Amino acid sequence: MKKHTSLMLGAVCMLSAASACAAEPDGQFAVGGGIGAGPRYAGSDRNVVSPVIVLDYTHASGFFASSLRGVGYGYQAGPFTYSTALGYRGERKEKNEKALFGNNGSEELKGMGDVKGNASAIVSIGIKPLPILEFNVSADVPLSQRENGKTIHTGITAQLLDGRNDTLSLSAGAGFADSKYAQTYHGVTAQQALTSNFKAFTPKSGLYEANLMLTWQHKFSNKWSVTALAGANTLLRDASKSPLTKRKTSPAGGFYVSYLY
């Protein structure tokens, strides 16, 4: 599973909702595919379109294994939800390099060196005080390449439409980073300044991004559905002032079809 983006968060929300409503006592499996679009890296002014692969299994016990959510366990008690998972935060290359799921780098970062991907522990908690409103908090803690740093994301999702065949939701969120994450993804060390075209920059920890995502899902039947997402991500505070940031606000979107077994 790649690092969470506003696009993936929307898809994850849809999968989580579907899993919570599983009719089969032994669990369910969703498979599908589509495309997703977003910046080449956080702060890039160039976009990239990549394939989205949906492979999502949820057992009635709460265990799940997913190409979007990772491998873990989720639990729901009344209005409260909890999940813990092992996921993957993608790498960042200093060149335009083709990868299995699209381009994962940019030549604009030449001289910055590669940021290696890492395994992450992802813990999420949520509360649904109203049927149409949900609040959530999630933490992403690296288990390898710990110099990549930790993040915490908070979010709110409002259900705008909940029809027989169509659902529409609007999500807003904010991300907070520790000093390691801020330096790795938005900073420039003295050594990197010597080998690249960027000036040295040391960002502070704290609030670094905000995002907004509109998600629509249409069900053709109990098995087939299509999901479309559109939104934007904005870098804030020191992340927006980074020499790496060519564009503060980037569009994000996607479209995929899925089949439920």
Output the tens digit of pLDDT for each of the chain's 261 residues.
Answer: 554 455 555 555 555 555 544 445 678 999 999 999 999 999 999 999 999 999 999 999 999 999 999 999 999 999 999 999 999 999 999 988 766 555 567 999 999 999 999 999 999 999 999 999 999 999 999 999 999 999 999 999 999 999 999 999 999 999 999 999 999 999 999 999 999 999 999 999 999 999 999 999 999 999 999 999 999 999 999 999 999 999 999 999 999 999 999
What type of residue is 198? F
- Residue 8: the pLDDT is 54
Q: Which two tokens stand for residue 196?
A: 């690249």
- In the CATH scheme, what is the homologous superfamily, with its name and number, of domain 6-260? monomeric porin ompg (2.40.160.40)
Per the listing, tokens 């010597």 go with: 194
Q: How would you write 36-63 as a 3-class SS string?
A: EEEECCCCCCCEEEEEEEEEEEECCCCE
Q: Which region holds residue 132: left if phi is over 0, alpha if psi is between -120 and 50, else beta?
A: alpha
Half-sphere exposure of 28 (CA within 13 A, CB side): 19
- Residue 208: the pLDDT is 99
Spatial CB neighbours of 124, under 8 Å, sequence gap ≥ 6: 81, 82, 83, 84, 136, 137, 138, 139
- Residue 100: the pLDDT is 57
Give CA–CA dist 14/16, Å, rounded.
Answer: 5
- Residue 21: the pLDDT is 47
- Residue 105: the pLDDT is 79
Which has the closest alpha carbon to 181: 92, 95, 104, 99?
Answer: 92
- Residue 96: the pLDDT is 83
Calculated CA dihedral for residues 187, 137, 55, 43, nearest 10 degrees: -20
DSSP-derived letter for residue 170 is E
Produce one character per residue of 184-219: b if its CB has 16 or more CB atoms within 10 Å, e if not. Answer: bbbbbbeebbeebebeebebebeebbbbbbbbbbeb
- Residue 214: the pLDDT is 98
First-to-final CA distance of the chain: 21
